[in-house]
Amino acid sequence: MRSNILDILRQANGTYVSGEDIARTMNVSRTAVWKHIRELKQAGYAIDSHSRSGYCLMETPDLLLPSEIQNGRKTKVLGKDIQYYKEVISTNNQAKFAAQQDAGEGTIIVSEAQTSGRGRLARGWYSPAEKGIWFSVILRPHFLPQEAPKCTLLAAVAIVKAIETITEIQVGIKWPNDILYNKLKLVGILTEMNAEMDCINYIIIGMGINVNIQKNEFPLELQHIATSLAIIKGKKISRVQLLNEILFQIETLYNIAQAEGFVKILEEWKKYSVTLGKTVDVIGINDTFAGLAMDIDADGALLVKTKAGIKRVLAGDVSI
């Protein structure tokens, strides 16, 4: 109902629509219309009410409201169901909970802020209110559990493409999934899985995109290692538009992965890689070593040429 009223106001394109017309179109009372308008205002929509001319949508809020995402959504499955929060501990935690409650494939959990956003290797993720896109996607793919790590690479490629489309900023991927601009971190991805030996129950891909954070708003310890799209571009970026493009790109690549495997996605990943061809320090799970990052293999593992031969890195961190 609320989204129908919003559609009517949007279509009026900055002109007034009378309460009576809205009520008639929707077959409800004028009081019901008035109540929904009040709720929309509470949600952050600037709607001017005039006793004679009716209602006019003056401004939509700069929030990741489901009604705003749905309005520009280009996907079939991803983002069809949206759980929206003003604040959560971590959207990945929330997504895990939702997945255990049978949330369907493509459900997304979006929050304006996270009080304890989680990063890889037990790190935290800075997630201030309304300044970034902090969200998680629930996937229920048919492929085998050992393929799951490649979903992280898939998400990285999708985000790079979406950032290029919306902002024209060219960014690179540091293995396995950091998105960087001039060596500064712009995006982090945390993939988690619940699986049996031979089937995946669900995969959660959590993504943190620094969108409208100003340099002095980052905590001091992050100011020299992180950046945001607004800093790079020198202006605010629409989070709703970017999120919709990311959903579209993930869905496109995910459909390819389900139909034909990950070959094409790994090829795309290599094009955007800022790791391959560089001398890297690898901080593996068990050891630390240096070498030349040569390639990634069919599993997405990094192949590093060292004095002792070629080492295959499946998990860990690299510095370039």
Residue identified by tokens 């489901």 is: 66
The one-letter amino acid code at 237 reads I
What φ, ψ does residue 149 adopt, rounded to 5°?
Answer: -55, -25
Q: For residues 169-188, which are near ligand BTN according to CB under 6 A?
A: 178, 188
Counting contacts by CB under 6 A, is residue 300 touching ligand BTN?
no
Counting contacts by CB under 6 A, is residue 108 touching ligand BTN?
no
The one-letter amino acid code at 82 reads I
Counting contacts by CB under 6 A, is residue 120 touching ligand BTN?
yes
Stretch that binds ligand BTN, among 21-29, 85-93, 138-146, 282-290 (CB under 6 A): 85-93
Counting contacts by CB under 6 A, is residue 117 touching ligand BTN?
yes
Q: Is the dihedral of CA 298, 299, 304, 306 positive or negative?
A: negative
Counting contacts by CB under 6 A, is residue 149 touching ligand BTN?
no
Counting contacts by CB under 6 A, is residue 19 touching ligand BTN?
no
When binding is defined by CB under 6 A, the residue of 90, 210, 227, 244 that contacts ligand BTN is: 90
Least separation in angstroms between residue 163's CB and ligand BTN is: 16
Q: Beta-carbon neighbour count of residue 179 at 10 Å?
A: 24
Counting contacts by CB under 6 A, is residue 207 touching ligand BTN?
yes
111-116 long-range Cβ contacts below 8 angstroms, 24+ apart? 111/84, 111/85, 111/86, 111/87, 111/135, 112/63, 112/64, 112/85, 112/86, 112/87, 113/86, 113/87, 113/88, 114/87, 114/88, 114/89, 114/90, 115/87, 115/88, 115/89, 116/89, 116/90
| Distance in angstroms (rounded) separating the CA atoms of residues 140 and 150 | 14
Pairing mode, strands 108-114 and 82-88? parallel
Counting contacts by CB under 6 A, is residue 92 touching ligand BTN?
yes
Least separation in angstroms between residue 55's CB and ligand BTN is: 36
Counting contacts by CB under 6 A, is residue 134 touching ligand BTN?
yes
Least separation in angstroms between residue 285's CB and ligand BTN is: 15
Counting contacts by CB under 6 A, is residue 131 touching ligand BTN?
no
Counting contacts by CB under 6 A, is residue 136 touching ligand BTN?
yes
Counting contacts by CB under 6 A, is residue 2 touching ligand BTN?
no
Q: What angle do CA 125, 267, 182 make, to 5 degrees?
A: 45
Least separation in angstroms between residue 137's CB and ligand BTN is: 10
Stretch that binds ligand BTN, among 60-68, 158-166, 201-209, 305-313 (CB under 6 A): 201-209
Name the 3-class secondary structure at 124.
strand
Nearer to ligand BTN, 112 or 251 (CB): 112
| Distance in angstroms (rounded) separating the CA atoms of residues 224 and 184 | 8
Counting contacts by CB under 6 A, is residue 107 touching ligand BTN?
no
* Cβ neighbours of residue 173 closer than 8 Å, sequence gap 6 or more: 153, 156, 157, 160, 179, 180, 269, 272, 273, 274, 275
Residue number with the smallest Cβ distance to ligand BTN: 188
Least separation in angstroms between residue 149's CB and ligand BTN is: 14
Counting contacts by CB under 6 A, is residue 84 touching ligand BTN?
no
- Applying CB under 6 A, which residues contact ligand BTN? 90-92, 114, 117-120, 123, 125, 127, 134-136, 178, 188-190, 206-208
